Amino acid sequence: MPLITQVGRKRFKVRLLLVAIASFLWLGVLLHLFPVAWMISASMKPTTEIFNEPFRIMPKEPTFSSYKLLATTINPAGQALNVDVFRYPLFVYLANSLKIAFMTVLIQLPITAMAAYAVSKLHSKRTARWLFFFFMGTLMIPGQIAIVPRFLLLSHFPWPTRHVPNFPFTDYLMPSFSFIGTYWGVLLPAAFNAFNFLLFKGFFDTLPTELIEAARMDGASELMTLRSIMLPLARPVVAVTGYFTFTGAWNDFLGPWIILMSEQGKWPLSVAMYKLQWVLTNWQPSQGAMDPAVQALISSGVGYNALMALAVVESIPIFIAFMIFREQLMKGIQIAGLKG
C-alpha cells in the first residue's frame, strides 16, 4: 500500500484507481490460469471433438481415453502404436523424471549447502574470498557455451580428450567411463549449483558466529553443528532451493535429450513430450500426404488431446511440489526480502 495511503482511500477517484489496478491484476491471474484450464479441458476431449469443434471450452463428452492410451503401448484395436514415444508406457517416463528430479535434489543440495557453509563460516577470510570467486565465476559464463566439451567429458570421463591416456611407459589405458546413456550423465553436471550456493551462503552469513562457537564449546562436531543447528535454521532456504532444484531438474530438456537420446527407456517426461509433439505437429494438413504412422496414430485417437494429457501428467508432480512448499516459499520470499 505504499503508493496510495490509507487515508485517501475513501475518495471516489482513488477508489476507482484501486479498482482499476485490482482488475488489471486479476486479469493477469486469469490469463495465467487459462492455458492451464485449456490444457486440462483439451486432454479430456475425444479426438473427433479436437478436430470438429476445436474451440469448445468444456469437452462435450469428457473422457479419459487419452490418458489410457498414454498408459499403454497398443491402440484400441490391439496393434502396437508405431511411434517411438509409445514404445514405453507413460509410467516409465514418469518414474524416470521422478528419479532424475529427486536424485538431483539429494546430490546437489548437501554438496552445495556444505560448500556454502564452509565458505561462510569455516574458512579464513582470504581463502573464502578466493573460493567464492571459484564457485560463482561460472555463473557469469553462459552455460550453453560448454555443451560440446561437457558431452566429450562425459563420454570418456574423467578425460575430456578424445584419447584416454596410457599409464606412463606402458600400453595400459587409464580407466575411463562413459556416462552417455546413463542417469549419472545427467546428475553429475548438476552436483553443484552456483545460484543455490549464493542463496545458502547469503543465509549462513546472516547467522551469528557465536552460535557455532557455542556448539563447539559443547563439543559438537562440525557436521553436527551444520546438521542440527544451521540446517534447521535454514529451513526456508532449504525449501526454496529444494523446490527450485526439483522443478529445474524436472523441466530440464537439453541435458537429458543430449545424454539419454539413445536410451529411450530412460527418457524423462520432458523428452517424451518433445518427441510426441514433434510427431504430431510436423505434419500439417496443408502439406498434403500424411505419414502413415501418424495417420495410424490419429485414427487410434492420439491427437492434441493425448499431447495435452501428457502435458497434464508432466505438470502434476511439480504442482504437488508447489502445494507442499507453498507456505515455505512465501516465507522464503519474506526472508529474502528482509536480508535484501
Partner 1 sequence: MPEPTPKTQGIGYKTLMAWLFTAPGLIAQLVFGWLPVLFSFVVSFQKYYFIKEPEFVGAKNFQDVAIDPLVITAFKNTLYFASLSIGLTFLLPIFVSILLMEMSRRTIRIMMILWFVPVASTAGITIWKYMYHPNLGLMNGILRGLGLHELKWLDDPNLAMFSLILPGIILFGPGLIYIAALQNVPEELYEAAEMEGASMLRKIWFITLPRLRPIIAMMLLFSIIGSMQVFELPFIMTGGGPGYATTTVVMYIYSLAFGGYNLGKATALAIVLFGVIMALVLIQRRFFPENIDETPKRA
233-292: contacts with partner 1 (CB under 8 A): 247, 250-251, 253-254, 258, 269-270, 273-274, 277-278, 281-282, 284-286
Sketch the per residue contact string, 115 through 154, with partner 1: x for CB under 8 A, - otherwise: x-xxx--xxx-xx---x--xx-xx-xxxxxxxxxxxxxx-
d(CA 297, CA 274): 16
The least CB distance from residue 89 to partner 1, in Å, is: 18
Q: Using the rule CB under 8 A, is 314 a contact of partner 1?
A: yes
The least CB distance from residue 135 to partner 1, in Å, is: 6
Q: Could you tell me the three cell numbers for 218?
A: 559443547
Q: Which amino acid is at 48?
A: T
Angle between helix axes 235-251 and 90-117 (nearest 10 degrees) is 140
Of 10, 12, 13, 31, the residue at the interface with partner 1 (CB under 8 A) is 31
* Residue 118 DSSP symbol: I
Q: Using the rule CB under 8 A, is 325 a contact of partner 1?
A: no
Q: Could you tell me the three cell numbers for 146?
A: 560448454
Among the listed ranges 83-91, 168-176, 289-297, 303-311, the one in contact with partner 1 (CB under 8 A) is 303-311
HSE (CB half, 13 Å, CA atoms) of 110?
7
Q: Using the rule CB under 8 A, is 66 a contact of partner 1?
A: no
Cβ count within 10 A of residue 164: 13
Picking from 217, 219, 225, 236, the residue whose alpha carbon sits closest to that of residue 118 is 225
The least CB distance from residue 191 to partner 1, in Å, is: 4
3 or 289: CB nearest partner 1: 3
Of 71, 103, 194, 290, the residue at the interface with partner 1 (CB under 8 A) is 194
DSSP letter for each residue of 297-336: HHHTT-SHHHHHHHHHHHHHHHHHHHHHHHHHHHHHHHHH
The least CB distance from residue 172 to partner 1, in Å, is: 21
**In a 3-state reduction of DSSP, which class is residue 121?**
helix
Q: Using the rule CB under 8 A, is 98 a contact of partner 1?
A: no
d(CA 109, CA 196): 8
75 or 225: CB nearest partner 1: 225
d(CA 66, CA 44): 7
Q: Interface residues for partner 1 in 166-185 (CB under 8 A)?
A: none
174 with 159: CB under 8 angstroms?
yes
- Give the H or E element holding residue 168: none
19 or 74: CB nearest partner 1: 19
Number of residues that bind partner 1 (CB under 8 A): 110
38 or 91: CB nearest partner 1: 38
Q: Using the rule CB under 8 A, is 187 a contact of partner 1?
A: no
